[in-house]
Structure 1
Amino acid sequence: MENKTILSVKDLSVDFQVRGRQLKAIRHVSLDLRDQETLAIVGESGSGKSVLTKTFTGMLERNGRITNGTIQYEDKVLSDFKKDSDWNGIRGKGITTIFQDPMTSLDPIRTIGSQISEVVVKHQKKSPKEAKKIAIDLMERTGIPNAKERYNEYPFEYSGGMRQRIVIAVALACHPKILICDEPTTALDVTIQAQILELIKDLQKEYHFTTIFITHDLGVVASIADRIAVMYSGQIIELGTCDEIFYDPRHPYTWSLLSSLPQLATKDAGLYSIPGTPPSLYKDIEGDAFAPRNSVAMKIDFKKEPPMFRVSDTHWAKTWLLDPRAPKVEKPALIQNLHEHFVEMMKTEATMNFEEGGATID
């Protein structure tokens, strides 16, 4: 049975006023978020990923405003909120965010434990003594060794990965229903990144929250996402299950993102990069925003914006290539056998790890 919709975005547009000019950051986005799922939002920098999710917590910059559409969370219409006080029951306990740099969320001159305890007191209505016990428990659950002894340490005494674990503990202290992870592992090395992703995945099973994972790297979300929304120039241009996006992508921009995966780089060809740059969002975009960078673009791509075509019950893509009248175009050879490539890559990694362990087979 499909989980219920916990948050629904309908035809949302967001504009920013920048030096007397209007920048259209989000352009008519619709999206339903399901209870306890993990939705990954991917796309290049500037595609609108963070701006979209900031509207869920009322954290748009002062020069930004919702110009069209609605955001409904449970029985509340968030897009109607006008004052900070309207958000008191939403931020934290309803929807909370983990940012890329943990030091933007932690107070450098207060102890780690006091920062977690404060949130427990506020959102769980516990006494200071109870809050301390819960804070230490959260530190242990998020993988902080010797949590009781480290309760009174300061953020500078923790590594980057450990600070990110503390930020996760602070977020969980709110008992959120939706956890937004805004590029939480970008600044971490690959090993720590994998640990944080696994931690979020495990905690989601334990605490039953919904996760939105924002990243520019499709490879990061391959093992944790249930569904993936691909954003480009302020729009969702493809939406589907993880398998559909990886193994049956339909939009040329999704093809390009997949082709850019570092795992697909070769000694001969190097790493693929998407040619050109995204269009200016100060101007009205005519046709498909990706058309100038698309080697298989048709004349109609430059003249008329495509609708969102249905590929399956769970898969949609905003490209004229899905129109019955369009010529048949194959996705790039580099990503045609992506499943087989990942299987082979995992076998190679397993072999290397085995050999590094010093084991031998007689």
Structure 2
Amino acid sequence: MTDKNKILEVRDLKVKFRVRDTELTAIRGIDLDLYEGEVLALVGESGSGKSVLTKTFTGMLEKNGYIPEGKIVYKGNELQNFTSHKQWLKYRGKELATIFQDPMTSLNPVRTIGSQITEVITKHRGESEGAAKKIAIDLMERVGIREPEKRFNDYPFEYSGGMRQRIVIAIALACRPNVLICDEPTTALDVTIQAQILRLLKDLQKEYEFTIIFITHDLGVVAQIADRIAVMYAGQIVETGTAEDIFYDPKHPYTWALLSSLPQLSDPEEDLYSIAGTPPSLYTTIEGDAFAPRSPYAMQIDYEVEPPMFQVSETHFAKTWLLDPRAPEATKPSVIHNLHDRLKEVHADDVIFREE
């Protein structure tokens, strides 16, 4: 990747929330680059800051949230400085669109499916009602809705969960955004429908040539769709690299723990691995490595000094003292040895799995 095709740049971003008489820090100094045409996966446990981070890209932070420091640069514009709804309207939907986790809460239950798609088209693209309906029906067909003309005037409750998620994708694509943020769009779906939605997103990306930010806590999903992966913990990115970097040669103990807990790798005769402890409270000041209290590899320095981001390769970086030349050698858990090959075996019949 080069600066030539970089479309979004985040530098030293911090996000805080005012809660009662105190403040909590949700994002703690994130640096991130997004490149044209890629699928970037943000992974980590619930509460790691994945959704909060991407909400800053579209101005959708809750009212008590704010950005005290840092930059978000998109096409030369510093989005963190936007203060009005009018400023965001130029970008939200048109440039950066979001698909949320639960399609039932994303759709208005008392309005027809067709009207919810056409509203976006008329509002953001200035099309007439007639033209908007034609575009909407075409989009419904593109996302796999059979007989879209007949289903145009149906209500959300008349659609299955998978079909509703397809409609939410159609609405997000109605403005032809450059960046599509997918906030755990398959979590509420069963495995079969999940695979269909992942395939749909990949196919639509090829057709419309947009960039995807895919938020998930499931590294099994990441293996099927991502080009690059950023692992988040306690409001920071602790490891980033290509999918091959993360699955073949992970370096951070937290990444090791996430990979070890993949249900696809579990032994039916043994308990599924789980990460001990809980993430740190956002109300407290974190000293050292935030993952240290939960890590069996933690050293004394992990409790005292925050590690820098070490460069492993041109594409691979990890924020752990284990990469310091003075650190003792640490061996990753045996369960994640040959991980990529093992996942390919698990997904042998799954056409979604990323091709080499």
- Where on the TM-score scale, by shorter chain, does this alignment land: which range? over 0.9
Is residue 228 of structure 1 aligned with residue 192 of structure 2? Answer: no
Equivalent position amino acid for 2:139 in 1 = L
Distance 1:240 1:281 in 2: 26
Deviation at 1:237, TM superposition (A): 0.2
Query: Residue 55 of structure 1 aligns to a residue in which SS?
Result: helix
Point out where structure 1 has 5 or more consecutive residues left out of the alignment. Answer: 351-362
Between structure 1 and structure 2, the one with the greater Rg is: 1
Within 5 A, what are the aligned runs for 1:281-320?
281-320=282-321
Distance 1:337 1:171 in 2: 37
Q: Taking structure 1 as reference, are residues 5 and 161 closer, same or farther at Cα in structure 2, changes over 3 Å only?
A: same
Query: Residue 79 of structure 1 aligns to a residue in which SS?
Result: helix
Distance 1:88 1:173 in 2: 15
Q: Taking structure 1 as reference, are residues 82 and 290 closer, same or farther at Cα in structure 2, changes over 3 Å only?
A: same
Partner residue in 1 for 2:128: 127
Query: Residue 14 of structure 1 aligns to a residue in which SS?
Result: strand
- Alpha-carbon displacement from aligned partner over 1:218-266 (angstroms, at most 9, x marks no partner): 1111111010000000000000001111110000000000000001111
Within 5 A, what are the aligned runs for 1:27-176?
27-176=28-177
Query: Residue 266 of structure 1 aligns to a residue in which SS?
Result: coil
RMSD of Structure 2 on Structure 1 (CA): 1.2
Partner residue in 1 for 2:206: 205
Distance 2:161 2:269 in 1: 35
Query: Residue 156 of structure 1 aligns to a residue in which SS?
Result: helix
Equivalent position amino acid for 1:46 in 2 = G
Partner residue in 2 for 1:272: 273
Distance 2:344 2:188 in 1: 27
Equivalent position amino acid for 2:140 in 1 = M
Q: Taking structure 1 as reference, are residues 346 and 45 closer, same or farther at Cα in structure 2, changes over 3 Å only?
A: closer
Query: Residue 57 of structure 2 aligns to a residue in which SS?
Result: coil
- Alpha-carbon displacement from aligned partner over 1:161-187 (angstroms, at most 9, x marks no partner): 100000000111011111000011100
Deviation at 1:336, TM superposition (A): 1.3
- Alpha-carbon displacement from aligned partner over 1:245-291 (angstroms, at most 9, x marks no partner): 11100000000000000011112322100000011111111100000
Query: Residue 312 of structure 2 aligns to a residue in which SS?
Result: strand
Distance 1:21 1:253 in 2: 29
Equivalent position amino acid for 1:317 in 2 = A
Equivalent position amino acid for 1:13 in 2 = K
Q: Which ranges of 4 or more aligned residues in structure 1 deviate by more than 3 Å?
A: none
Partner residue in 1 for 2:247: 246
- Alpha-carbon displacement from aligned partner over 1:37-85 (angstroms, at most 9, x marks no partner): 1100000000000000000011000111001100011121101111222
- Of 110-119 and 190-199, more deviation after overlay is shown by 110-119
TM-score of the superposed pair, with normalisation by structure 1: 0.94
Deviation at 1:343, TM superposition (A): 3.6
Partner residue in 1 for 2:13: 12
- Alpha-carbon displacement from aligned partner over 1:111-143 (angstroms, at most 9, x marks no partner): 111111111112222111111111000000000
Partner residue in 2 for 1:328: 329
Query: Residue 58 of structure 2 aligns to a residue in which SS?
Result: coil
Distance 2:330 2:53 in 1: 31
Equivalent position amino acid for 2:104 in 1 = M
Partner residue in 2 for 1:360: none
Point out where structure 2 has 5 or more consecutive residues left out of the alignment. Answer: 351-356
Equivalent position amino acid for 1:312 in 2 = S
Distance 1:344 1:96 in 2: 34
TM-score of the superposed pair, with normalisation by structure 2: 0.96
Deviation at 1:106, TM superposition (A): 1.2
How many pairs are equivalent? 349
Distance 1:41 1:302 in 2: 25
